[in-house]
Each structure stands twice: as C-alpha cells, then as structure tokens.
Structure 1
Amino acid sequence: MPNPSALRWRLGVALGVRGYPNLRTASLRDDPTAWILANSEIISTIVKQEQQTLSMDDMGGLEGMLFPRLTLYMYGRSRLTRDSVNERNLNALLHRHKAEYTSIYDIAPLSPKSIREILPKCLGENLKLARSEIEHVTAMYELDILSIAARALVVLSSIDHIELGLGPAQLELQDLIDLLQEIIDFGHLGDARPLICAALYTLCRKSNLHPTSLILKNITSLASTSLTGTGQHVPAKAFKGKFAGKDVAIKVTKACIRDAIIWRQLDHPNVLSIFGVDNSPGNLYIISPWMLQGNVIQYLDKNLEVDRMSLVLDVARGLQYLHELNPPIVHGNLKGENILINDCLKACISDYDFMHTSHDTTQRTTGMSEGQSDNHGHKTVARDVSAFSTVLYEIMVHPVPIASQILPLSRPSVIDDTIWKIMQKCWSPDSPPISDILKIISQYLTILPSDEDFSVVRNKVIHAQPSIFDLPESIFPTSTLPILLRQDECALSPSPADLIIVVTGPSGSGKSSFINHLFGSEVAYVHDEMESCTQTVNAFACMHPRRPNQKVIIVDTPGFDDSTRTDLAILEEIAQWLEATYRKRILLSGILQFHSIRDSRMRGAPLRNLTMFQHLCGKDAYKNVVLLTTFWDRVLDEVAVNRENQLRADFWRPLIVHGSRVDQFNPPTHERAWDIIDGFSPNTSRPALTIQREMVDQKKKLYETSVFKVLKSFWRSIVNKIAKKIGIGSKGPKNIHVQRAFEQNQAFDKKR
C-alpha cells in the first residue's frame, strides 16, 4: 500500500510554487483568470494520478472547491490510513460541492461563513498531523488560499455588474471585503499583494463599507484619559494601552475610516503598521505597536554613538515604499518626532494624520516653505523629499537643535561633503525622487569593506477574533515538540553531559530562523536582511524530542558585523562565555557555522566571520564543525549547487581537510533542523577551542590570543587602505562610516 509520504510528493505541492511557474504570485497579479485555469489544470492532472493509485471514487470537479489540495490530500490520507469516518465525510463534502457549484467562478462560497464551515470538514475529525506532514500540508494550504484570492479578484473585475444585496445567489459585499482582508492578513501573497490591497480599497470605496476586523474593541488604556467621551483632554501624543494581551500605542486621529483602511494595509519594516482603530464616540483612535525606544530624537539622546546613517537609510527606504505605491502616499509631516525606533533599533515612519494619496507625482516647487502643495492644498512627494533632508539633518547633528525650518546655508562640521550634497539635492527645485536619493546613500555607504544591509522586523496583525484561515492547534503534534527550558536553567548551569552546540556566522545567514525551526516557536528574532537583532550570547535549552533524557543547549552568538558595537566588544563577550564554560571543564559538542547560499561571493562580512571563526576554533576542533548553508529555497538549484561547490573547493577546503562536514538546512523545517542536530553525538570527543586553551591553560590575556591579533591586523589594514584611497589628513576623517572603521582600529590599539 502507498504511504502518506509518497502521496505528499505525488501531489507536487511539496515543492510549493517553485514546482509550478504558472502559479507564481506574479502570474496571479498579471492575470488572475489565467492563474485559475493553470491551477485547475494542475489539480485535474493530480486527481487523475491519485484516482489510479489509490482507487479513489470519482473526484471530478475537485478543482472548483475552496480547498482542493487540502481535500485531496486528506481524502488520500484517509484511504491510506483506513480512516473510514473521515473518508465518508470528505466524500459527502465533495458530492455536496458537485450538487451546488458547477464552475470555478462561482462566487457563493466566497464568504467567511463558508470557509469556517468547509475547512473543518476538509481537515476531518480528530486529525493529528505527524511532524513530517506539517511543512507539506502548510504548502498545500497556502496554494489553496491563493486560489481563493484569485477567484475573489476575478469576481471583483466585474464588480460594477453586481447588484448589491439582491437575490439569494448574489454575493454579500461585506463578506467579500472581510475575506480580502483575511487573505491580506494571512500573507504569503508575494507580488499579488498590491493588487489585492487595491481591490479591497476599491470595493470599500464603492460600497462605503470597511473590513469588520479594522474596528478593535476591548482596548484598555493605561493612561488616565478614557477612550470614551467628547474627545476633550485627549493627549496629542500616543499613550500606552493593552489589546489582546499586548502593549499598544493609542493615538487620536483627525482622519476617517477610509484613511484607516489604507493604513491598515501598509506593510514595510520602516513604516509603522497599525492593528486597527477604535471608533469610540467622539474620536477615532489609531492602535499601533508600542515602541519602547520612543522616537529617533529620544533614542539619540540616550545613544549618541549609534550608526546614524543606518537610521537615515531606514527613513529613506520607508519613504520610498510610500512613494512607490499606486497611487503614491505622501506623508506630509516628516520630522524626527514622527520617526520611531522599533525593538530591533530600526527607524519606522509614523504619524498618519497628514498622510494622503497623491495622483500628481510630478509637481515640484522650490524651498522649504509650505507652498509645496497641489491644487487641493495637499503636500506633494517633493515636499516629502525636502522634509527628508530635514530629518537627515536632525539625525546627523543631534543634540544640536534646529533653530528654524530654514536649514543653514553652510555645512555643519559633523556632516561631510557627500551627505551635504545629498541634502542640497533634496532642497533643489528639481529634487530627484527618494529612490534616487536612496541609491546615492547606498553607494556612499559602500566605502566600508563589509556588506551593509538592514533588518526586516514586521509587526504581526493582532486579531480580535481568530482568523478564518487559522488552522486549529489541535491538529499539530505536541508530544514531539522540544520542551523549552528557562534560559537561566541552561545558560548558567550547563553540565558535561549536555549536548552543547554553538551557532555562529554573519548576520542574515539564518541563525535565528534555524533556532526557531528547531524549537518550534519564535524564541529568537527573525529577519530577512543582513543586520542582526542578536546583540548578546544567548543560550536556549530544551529536552531532545527524540531522546527525552538528553538536554540540548543551543548557544546563539552575534556576528562580527554589528553596526552598533565594535568587533572587539563582540569578541570579548564570546570569549568570556567560552572561558567561563571551559573553566568548569564543559566543552562544546559541536559548532554550526552558517553561510547564506544567497551570497554570490565570499567577501565582506561573511569572509571576515569565517576567518575569525577559524582562528577562534583552531584545527583540533574542526572535526566537530558543520558548515551549514541556508536559504536554498530562495536561489535556483543549479546556482546554489555551484556556489556550494565553490565554497567546498576554495574557502572551506582547510576546514574540510581537517574533518569538518558540509550540510544544508534544506528544506527549512523542524524535522530537518533536528536531523542536523542529530549529526552531533554526545559521546564524541570534545577538544577545547584555541581561544579556550590560550586564555585558561596558557593564561593569556585576550589581546594576546591569535583571534585578537587577526582582528587587529584586519582593521589596521582597512584603515590604511581607506587613508590611502581618500587621502585622510592628520585631523582624521569626517565621514561617519570611515570614522567607524577608525574606531574599530582604535579599540584594538587601546586594548591591554
């Protein structure tokens, strides 16, 4: 008899959209009707294959159901596991569908009520997925939801022909609006997201309706001001509150519900998202994430030494996102007070009161005056670009106050020539779009020897009620999940019998993602870009899900590419942890050295991290090292294989020769993560690392260790190259990034 694993692969959806080019989100965006036809053809082919293999009943018409892949898989699973009850229920569901709906363009099923009714029947009774099934079922489910989105878009293309509320077969527009919002909140839409957001807004505007989930209830204010009343004594700034157990910011707004519908769809790491609004009598309140760090001015008051240009770049990226929407969104009130700092210390544009859509992106006027407005009194994108220069100035010169809205005509000493020219471009009558300014800033930042990039931290939507697309928690296995121990139980008291594995590598190489997959929950920050939220050595412990008596400790380390700290500070922290554990004669079971296969070349931060790693460990420890590549699902297979082969032949060869293994976190699943961990045995010999022997056995100071000397030599050579390239005089550099290179070098020179 075939097994469920074989069924998953025959279904093809285990490969996700990569297996079907016609089902990519870009295809859905370009032609929803063609996407539906391609999807139906693929499902019909799969049905024919499965009918013959599993002796299934007639499954014709399956492609017209709301969850065709999920239904087919659960039906086949019931046959293979001889679950006659769920098999009968799924048969009944299919026959009902054939009787009621005859076309993939039927609009009647497109309602939250229908989905709430059908989804549990697809999943069956008392379903408990095996761990090996979860990733594949999730892939099927995501494609099924994309098919619902495509059908909704096709319906909306003829919205003018729909008679509102007439006839039992007519679509309820409120249902469709709520469905579109649920689809957007679910995510995984890729290139199709803007199209679905635009469809939602158009439908809301024509019907004068709004998504039900936009209005939030039961918000608790932690300030003295109540959310009810006439609006008097409401603070101008945001105050703190609680919603669904989370800290939120509450702010009164002059805007209307229609504006809030647009704001609710904004999705960029450098633009503050909103959870919804409270429409208590007398006022409309915006509910958004609570930012503990405050605005950028408050943040700089407490952190004068931060990388200010990275904050400037954050603002530029957020503004570019707003301006490149269709139609563009003009902020209209960009200033330091409206730039908030998130939990990963990244800048987010906030304050929605002056935001509005603009249909005229060409109108540009001169100077910093209030005259940069269109014929309706609205600010233009040119005004935003000029305001961006003010924000740039505020960030770079703070705590020096700005005397007025008219910026100085001469360059302040803390701003170098390149940044000054950028500001002048923003002020000019023919100021370029923010995308061009962003390119100039990015080119300017490449003077540093490492690849610079920035973290993506998105705020998850808080639902007042469970989403219609939430799969029930009861179907997921619980007994095999690792039991996460409190950090103080693992970090402060490891024992020689524990399986202790250190994860290391450059920021953005997938360390935090791996840890989260391993534990089955978000215990570490996850991001898509290069700058890490890992600021300290963090130890996470659990009991091994496959060997319940074995404790596993995963030690997450920051990479040598942190924009807020020197390499010396990072080295001191890692060395301190390694020294403390070695003094207790607790040795590492293994090391996972991460490398993103997305990196086309080994250079900058990845190369520096690899070099430091080799000198930190030493050749004796190489046999317990796994060189782990990540993000294979984001690169073409042929390209990824070629890159891995080059790494094996060149950069990793010294480690492989001395016993290091190469592995892939592919696919990125819980099961695969534990397969990699199981490659380390608790009984394997555990040699001390070079830095441990040097600092404990040889009683060397940190500045006498080999890894310290290599880092010191690296930064000295970088400073010499920069000085030679740009001709820095005796007074030192004024460029903040060049200055940081000098600070890195100076930190090592002073260490004794």
Structure 2
Amino acid sequence: MDKTDAGGQSQSQGPKPKNSKVMIALLGVTGAGKSTFINVACGREVLKISHGAKPCTQDPKSVEFQMDDRTIVLIDTPGFDDDKRSDVRILEDIAIWMAKKGYMGEQMLDGLIFLHPVTLTRAGGSELSRTQLLEKILGPGAYNRVFIATTMWDYIVNENLVKERLESRFAEGGVWHELKSKGAADVKHHNTQESAHAIIRSIIEIADRMGKPEIRLENELKKEKGRLVQTSAGKTLEGQITEKILILEDEICKHGKTRPPASYRNDKVSEHRTEWKRWHSRQRELQGKLARREQELKKLQNIIVRFFRVLAAMFRPPR
C-alpha cells in the first residue's frame, strides 16, 4: 500500500489528536460497494444493500463504530452516474448534508476512500471529469489522503484481464495516473472485515503521523482574493459544464433537423402521430438537460464553494 508523502510537500499542521474521531468519506459509482464496506467494517448490517441498478443510498449517512480504541465515522454517500441526478448535484447534496450535520465545524474528514468495482470495464467521461476536479481542488500535497479501493473481485472470471484494465488506469494518461503517481494508495478490498480495517488503519496512521496539509484550492483562494472561478478547480468545472452545454446544443440542433411535418401532430394516421410524439419527447428531454446544465453554470460560484467546504475540510485542523 502506497503511503508516501504526496509530492514531497510539507505537512504544515500538527499530528491528529489520537482521542479524536476518525472521519472517512466513501465515494464511488452506484453499486461499487460503499454500504457493504461499512457493514463489513462494523461487523453488522447497519445499512441496506442494493442488489440492482437502483441506488439504496439517496442521501448521505454516517455510521460510528469502535476499532482499536478509536471512534471511526464512515460516511456513506449517494452513488455517482445516477440517471436522475448529475455528479455535480450529488457532490452539492453531500456538501449540504455535511454542513447540516456539523461535519465542517470542529470535526473534519481524515480521508477519502474511492471504491471501484472491477466489473466496471472502462472509465466513462463523467468519471474522468470527477477525478480531474478532485485533483484541482486537493493538489498533489493531499493525494496521500485518497485511497482507491477495488471491489467485486469475487465476480470476475479473468483476473489477468482485470489487472490489465486497472494498470491502464494507473498508466500515464490513465484516469488515476496523477493521483497514484503523487501519493494516492491503490488497494484491493476483499469484502472482509480484515480488509476494511486494514484500509482504515492506513488512513489513521497517516492522520496521526502527518496531520493536516495545505491544499491547492485554499492557497489559490488566498491569491485570487476569494474569486473562485479564477482558481484551477473553478476553471476546470466551468470548462466541463461549458463543454457539456456545447455538446447538448449541437445534439438539439441535429435533432431539430429531423423534425416531422407539423401536420403529423394531429394526423389521422397513427404512425405519423407516434413519430411526432417520439420526436417531441426527445426534444423536450434534450431541452431539459440543457436547461439544467445552464443552471449549473449560473450556480458555479455556490457549487465551487460547497466543493471547497467538503473536500478542503479534510485537511483543516480542528478549531
């Protein structure tokens, strides 16, 4: 397990008090095994497990348990790649929940565990966007607080093929290359309590030994006098949303050229009416997606603020 100092950057804050709670957030796509990880770590079923495509975790939940005379707090979060909520909305909801629960006050996060099912064959565009945004917010000095834990090893047939796919993710140009090369840990989770506790202990060891480092976004905000859209994270998110808007506008334009004759709307021929309804339904769907993306762009300042409060909180010392 890789636990080297990320990027060789100095850790400016003191070590974590050993009598404080250890807080860890779990992130990942729907079905990655976040709720299962928590149940296994606790040694009992405290969260409902999803056995289908529909996510069980609609809102974040926190679970406390005792391990090695320490209080461990694991935060289960909604899965990414949800058909009904964008990744931006999910991260925003996580931030709002954490603020309401007081997890941005005296008690801060100590680490992030990204659970990745090895049954997922390839990295999607949304996964790459999420990872790039995380990198911009944290900066290399904080990558050693990120643990990429692969799951679902019991469900694969060709382990060599899976290992090749994972190696491509860590290779230069891969979705996890930057994180891994500068301190993030790559671990295999075997869905056992021993495996879960080993990952948690590694996070505890880093927090106890190294304390809280400064992160890129916090430093950039100081330089930019609070102008979030001028930071690396702000520019990255703005670019990602703008790109999606341009793609949707192009798709709407192309779909508009396939519009059936207006007479089809109330035509006596059922096939014509069906064709019009199908076209109109798709047009409304695209317009709705575009409106949501444009709204996200307008809310960019607030979204970045919430991202900052969630992920920067990982490294801010207790007051």
**TM-score normalised by L of structure 2:** 0.67
Preserved CA contact (<8 Å) 2:148 2:186:
yes
**Could you say which residue in structure 1 is the equivalent of 2:33?**
510
**Could you say which residue in structure 1 is the equivalent of 2:239?**
713
Using the alignment, how far apart are the partners of 1:605 and 1:575 within structure 2?
A: 19
What SS is found at the alignment partner of 1:627? Answer: strand
Q: How far 1:689 sits from its partner (Å)?
A: 5.1
Preserved CA contact (<8 Å) 2:221 2:228:
yes
What SS is found at the alignment partner of 1:599? Answer: coil
Matches within 5 A, 1:210-249: none
1:591 to 112, 131, 140: 112
Using the alignment, how far apart are the partners of 2:105 and 2:235 within structure 1?
A: 23
2:188 to 643, 657, 664: 664
> CA 1:596/1:613 → structure 2, altered by over 3 Å: closer, same or farther?
farther
Superimposed CA distance per residue, residues 354-374 of structure 1 (whole angstroms, 9 cap, x where no aligned partner):
xxxxxxxxxxxxxxxxxxxxx
2:209 to 684, 690, 693: 684
Preserved CA contact (<8 Å) 1:506 1:605:
no
Q: How far 1:502 sits from its partner (Å)?
A: 1.4
Q: How far 1:712 sits from its partner (Å)?
A: 3.7
- Matched residues, number: 253
Using the alignment, how far apart are the partners of 1:706 and 1:713 within structure 2?
A: 11
**Could you say which residue in structure 2 is the equivalent of 1:550?**
70
What SS is found at the alignment partner of 2:38? Answer: helix
What SS is found at the alignment partner of 1:613? Answer: helix
What SS is found at the alignment partner of 2:209? Answer: coil
1:741 to 289, 293, 305: 289
Q: Please give the root-mean-square deviation of Cα atoms over the aligned residues, in Å.
A: 3.4
Superimposed CA distance per residue, residues 534-583 of structure 1 (whole angstroms, 9 cap, x where no aligned partner):
22232211111xx1x21111122234433333444333333443796455
Superimposed CA distance per residue, residues 168-203 of structure 1 (whole angstroms, 9 cap, x where no aligned partner):
xxxxxxxxxxxxxxxxxxxxxxxxxxxxxxxxxxxx
> CA 1:740/1:630 → structure 2, altered by over 3 Å: closer, same or farther?
farther
> CA 1:560/1:623 → structure 2, altered by over 3 Å: closer, same or farther?
same
**Could you say which residue in structure 1 is the equivalent of 2:164?**
642
Query: Which shows bigger deviation, 735-744 or 694-703?
Result: 694-703
Matches within 5 A, 1:492-503: 497-503=20-26
Using the alignment, how far apart are the partners of 2:19 and 2:129 within structure 1?
A: 31
**Could you say which residue in structure 2 is the equivalent of 1:654?**
178
Uncovered stretches (5+) of structure 2, i.e. residues with no partner: 1-17, 260-279, 302-319
Q: How far 1:733 sits from its partner (Å)?
A: 8.2
Q: In structure 2, give the amino acid aligned to 1:600.
A: T
Q: How far 1:626 sits from its partner (Å)?
A: 1.1
- Kindly indicate whether residue 44 of structure 2 is the aligned counterpart of residue 521 of structure 1: yes
Using the alignment, how far apart are the partners of 1:692 and 1:558 within structure 2?
A: 26
Matches within 5 A, 1:288-327: none
> CA 1:525/1:694 → structure 2, altered by over 3 Å: closer, same or farther?
farther
> CA 1:700/1:525 → structure 2, altered by over 3 Å: closer, same or farther?
farther
Q: In structure 2, give the amino acid aligned to 1:542.
A: F
Question: Which structure has the greater CA radius of gyration?
Answer: 1
Q: In structure 1, give the amino acid aligned to 2:247.
A: K
The structure whose residues are more often helix, as a share, is 2
Q: How far 1:683 sits from its partner (Å)?
A: 0.5
Q: How far 1:610 sits from its partner (Å)?
A: 2.5
**Could you say which residue in structure 1 is the equivalent of 2:129?**
608
> CA 1:598/1:567 → structure 2, altered by over 3 Å: closer, same or farther?
closer
> CA 1:520/1:561 → structure 2, altered by over 3 Å: closer, same or farther?
same
Q: How far 1:507 sits from its partner (Å)?
A: 1.9
Matches within 5 A, 1:562-581: 562-576=82-96, 577=98, 581=103
**Could you say which residue in structure 2 is the equivalent of 1:433?**
none
Superimposed CA distance per residue, residues 600-648 of structure 1 (whole angstroms, 9 cap, x where no aligned partner):
1111443333333323433221012111111111112122221222122
Using the alignment, how far apart are the partners of 1:619 and 1:693 within structure 2?
A: 13
**Could you say which residue in structure 2 is the equivalent of 1:50?**
none
Using the alignment, how far apart are the partners of 1:606 and 1:657 within structure 2?
A: 18
> CA 1:507/1:737 → structure 2, altered by over 3 Å: closer, same or farther?
farther
Preserved CA contact (<8 Å) 1:559 1:609:
no
Q: How far 1:597 sits from its partner (Å)?
A: 0.9
Matches within 5 A, 1:87-98: none
> CA 1:615/1:527 → structure 2, altered by over 3 Å: closer, same or farther?
farther
Q: How far 1:699 sits from its partner (Å)?
A: 7.3
Using the alignment, how far apart are the partners of 2:232 and 2:52 within structure 1?
A: 31
What SS is found at the alignment partner of 2:208? Answer: coil
Using the alignment, how far apart are the partners of 1:540 and 1:703 within structure 2?
A: 35
> CA 1:632/1:739 → structure 2, altered by over 3 Å: closer, same or farther?
farther
Q: In structure 2, give the amino acid aligned to 1:625.
A: V
Preserved CA contact (<8 Å) 1:712 1:745:
no
Using the alignment, how far apart are the partners of 2:52 and 2:131 within structure 1?
A: 19
> CA 1:606/1:509 → structure 2, altered by over 3 Å: closer, same or farther?
farther
Superimposed CA distance per residue, residues 503-541 of structure 1 (whole angstroms, 9 cap, x where no aligned partner):
112222221221121122332332244542322232211
Preserved CA contact (<8 Å) 2:64 2:72:
yes
Preserved CA contact (<8 Å) 1:630 1:665:
yes
Q: In structure 2, give the amino acid aligned to 1:746.
A: E
Using the alignment, how far apart are the partners of 1:524 and 1:692 within structure 2?
A: 34
Using the alignment, how far apart are the partners of 1:744 and 1:540 within structure 2?
A: 33
Using the alignment, how far apart are the partners of 1:536 and 1:515 within structure 2?
A: 15
> CA 1:697/1:596 → structure 2, altered by over 3 Å: closer, same or farther?
farther
Q: In structure 1, give the amino acid aligned to 2:94.
A: I
Matches within 5 A, 1:297-696: 497-544=20-67, 547=68, 549-576=69-96, 577=98, 581-584=103-106, 586-636=107-157, 637-649=159-171, 650-666=174-190, 668-680=191-203, 681=205, 682-685=207-210, 686-687=212-213, 690=216
What SS is found at the alignment partner of 1:542? Answer: strand
What SS is found at the alignment partner of 1:522? Answer: coil
Preserved CA contact (<8 Å) 1:595 1:630:
yes
Using the alignment, how far apart are the partners of 1:702 and 1:571 within structure 2?
A: 17
> CA 1:726/1:536 → structure 2, altered by over 3 Å: closer, same or farther?
same
The percentage of aligned residue pairs carrying the same residue is: 26
Preserved CA contact (<8 Å) 1:539 1:554:
yes
Superimposed CA distance per residue, residues 18-50 of structure 1 (whole angstroms, 9 cap, x where no aligned partner):
xxxxxxxxxxxxxxxxxxxxxxxxxxxxxxxxx
Q: How far 1:695 sits from its partner (Å)?
A: 7.4
Query: Which shows bigger deviation, 657-666 or 522-531?
Result: 522-531
Superimposed CA distance per residue, residues 199-223 of structure 1 (whole angstroms, 9 cap, x where no aligned partner):
xxxxxxxxxxxxxxxxxxxxxxxxx
Using the alignment, how far apart are the partners of 2:80 and 2:216 within structure 1?
A: 18
